[in-house]
Amino acid sequence: MVVNACNTDETDTEKPNVDVTFATAFPTSCDTLYFDEPFVVKVLLVDNAELGSYNIDIHHNFDQHTHSTEFEVCTFDGKKTAVNPYTFIQDYTIPEASTEYTTDITLTLPSSDGTNPYDEGDYHFQIKLTDKEGWSTLLGLNVKILRR
């Protein structure tokens, strides 16, 4: 009788990495985004074995909360109560068998919900990267979203 056992040495135990340190990365911490103006999200996603998917989450930071992922200190507006904050949550796929992938998606943040304008101010722009094994990394960036 022959028994095949899984080789546990091949199990991926490393978290993937989100890199915004290269010259054309955007957004980076403390950047300003503008309502109704398109911008290209350029971040480098890397994994030692295989990437899975990523998620972008944009939400207000009017109370100056933290997720312990924002490492750069930015100049914040004063704390304020949200009236009509902008929120964006979207999942994205990465081509199969990729170990490195640079995002190249264009986003345009609408200035209103169709009736009322969205609040300007301090926001978090978060990127959650998950590899094929299920390990994930969360990178949070402090940004401002304003109108011109």
CATH number at residue 117: 2.60.40.10
Question: Residue 11, Cβ neighbours under 10 Å: how many?
Answer: 9
- In this prediction the pTM is 0.89
Cα–Cα distance, 92 to 53 (Å, whole number): 6
- Asked whether residue 99 is domain-assigned, the answer is yes
Total domains present in the chain: 1
Q: State the pLDDT confidence band at 105, using cuts at 50, 70 and 90.
A: very high
Q: State the pLDDT confidence band at 1, using cuts at 50, 70 and 90.
A: low
- Asked whether residue 75 is domain-assigned, the answer is yes
Q: Of 2-16, 30-44, 58-72, which has the strongest mean pLDDT? A: 30-44
Query: In this model, does residue 7 exceed pLDDT 60?
Result: no
Burial of 47 (0-12, 13-18, 19+ CB in 10 A): buried
- Asked whether residue 21 is domain-assigned, the answer is yes
Q: State the pLDDT confidence band at 9, using cuts at 50, 70 and 90.
A: low
- Asked whether residue 134 is domain-assigned, the answer is yes
- Asked whether residue 51 is domain-assigned, the answer is yes
| Domain assignment of residue 89, given as a range | 13-146
- Asked whether residue 3 is domain-assigned, the answer is no
Q: Please, are residues 41 and 88 in contact by the beta-carbon 8 Å criterion? A: no
Tell me the pLDDT tens digit for each residue of 106-136.
999 999 999 999 999 999 999 999 999 999 9
Query: In this model, does residue 90 exceed pLDDT 60?
Result: yes
- Asked whether residue 101 is domain-assigned, the answer is yes
- Asked whether residue 124 is domain-assigned, the answer is yes
